[in-house]
Amino acid sequence: MSVTPLKALPLDQLRERTSAKWRTYPDDVLPLFGAETDFPLAPAITRSLTEAVRIGDTGYTGPDPGLRAAYAGFAQRRFGWTPDAARMRSTCDVIMGVVEVLRAVLEPGDRVIVTPPVYPPFYDGIPEAGGVVERVPLRDTGEGWELDLPGIEAALSGGARAVLLCNPHNPTGTVHSRGALAEVAAIAARYGAVVVSDEIHAPLTQPEATFTPFLSVSEDAARVGFALVSASKAFNLAGLKCALMVAASEEHTALLHAMPAEVEWRTGHFGALAAVAAFAPESDPWLDSLLAALDENRRVLADLLAAHVPGARYRIPEAGFLAWIDLSGLGWGENPARRIRREARVALHHGPMFGDEGAGHVRLNFGCAPEVLREAVERIGALVRS
In a domain, 3, yes or no: no
Cα distances (Å, whole numbers) of residue 283 to 39, 182, 270, 319: 14, 31, 17, 19
In a domain, 319, yes or no: yes
CATH assignment of the domain containing 70? 3.40.640.10
Collect all residues with Cβ–Cβ distance below 8 Å to 363 and sequence separation of at least 6.
33, 171, 322, 323, 324, 325, 348, 349, 351, 354
In this structure, the answer to whether residues 258 and 324 fall within a common structural domain is no
In this structure, the answer to whether residues 333 and 251 fall within a common structural domain is no
Q: Which of 251, 281, 311 is the last residue of a domain?
A: 281
Q: How confident is the model at residue 58 (pLDDT cuts 50, 70, 90)?
A: very high
In this structure, the answer to whether residues 30 and 164 fall within a common structural domain is no
Q: How confident is the model at residue 109 (pLDDT cuts 50, 70, 90)?
A: very high
pLDDT for 386: 86
In a domain, 158, yes or no: yes
In this structure, the answer to whether residues 291 and 250 fall within a common structural domain is no
pLDDT > 90 in the chain, percent: 99
In this structure, the answer to whether residues 150 and 295 fall within a common structural domain is no
Check whether 265 has a pLDDT greater than 80. Answer: yes
Check whether 1 has a pLDDT greater than 70. Answer: no
- Measure the CA–CA gap between 124 and 131, rounded to whole angstroms: 10
In a domain, 266, yes or no: yes
Q: Are 169 and 176 in contact (CB under 8 A)?
A: yes
Q: Which of 281, 306, 324 is the last residue of a domain?
A: 281
In this structure, the answer to whether residues 186 and 242 fall within a common structural domain is yes
Query: What number is the average pLDDT over the span 122-134?
Result: 98
Check whether 72 has a pLDDT greater than 70. Answer: yes
In a domain, 297, yes or no: yes
pLDDT digits (tens, 9 = 90+) for 178-192: 999 999 999 999 999
In a domain, 300, yes or no: yes
In this structure, the answer to whether residues 33 and 72 fall within a common structural domain is no
Q: Is the pTM of this model over 0.85?
A: yes
Q: Which of 281, 302, 331 is the last residue of a domain?
A: 281
Q: How confident is the model at residue 325 (pLDDT cuts 50, 70, 90)?
A: very high
In this structure, the answer to whether residues 272 and 301 fall within a common structural domain is no
In this structure, the answer to whether residues 28 and 52 fall within a common structural domain is no
Angle at 298 between CA 21 and CA 44, to 5 degrees: 60
In this structure, the answer to whether residues 147 and 219 fall within a common structural domain is yes
In a domain, 74, yes or no: yes
Q: What is the average pLDDT score of the chain?
A: 98
In this structure, the answer to whether residues 101 and 187 fall within a common structural domain is yes
Check whether 314 has a pLDDT greater than 70. Answer: yes
Q: Are 306 and 316 in contact (CB under 8 A)?
A: no
pLDDT digits (tens, 9 = 90+) for 222-241: 999 999 999 999 999 999 99
Query: What number is the average pLDDT over the span 38-58?
Result: 98
In this structure, the answer to whether residues 32 and 56 fall within a common structural domain is no
pLDDT > 70 in the chain, percent: 100
pLDDT for 277: 98
Domain span at residue 322 reads 11-41+284-385
Into how many domains does the chain fold? 2
Query: What number is the average pLDDT over the span 35-40?
Result: 98
CATH assignment of the domain containing 289? 3.90.1150.10
pLDDT for 311: 93
Residue 76 corresponds to which amino acid? Q
- Measure the CA–CA gap between 213 and 303, rounded to whole angstroms: 32
Q: Are 168 and 318 in contact (CB under 8 A)?
A: yes
pLDDT for 2: 86
In a domain, 5, yes or no: no
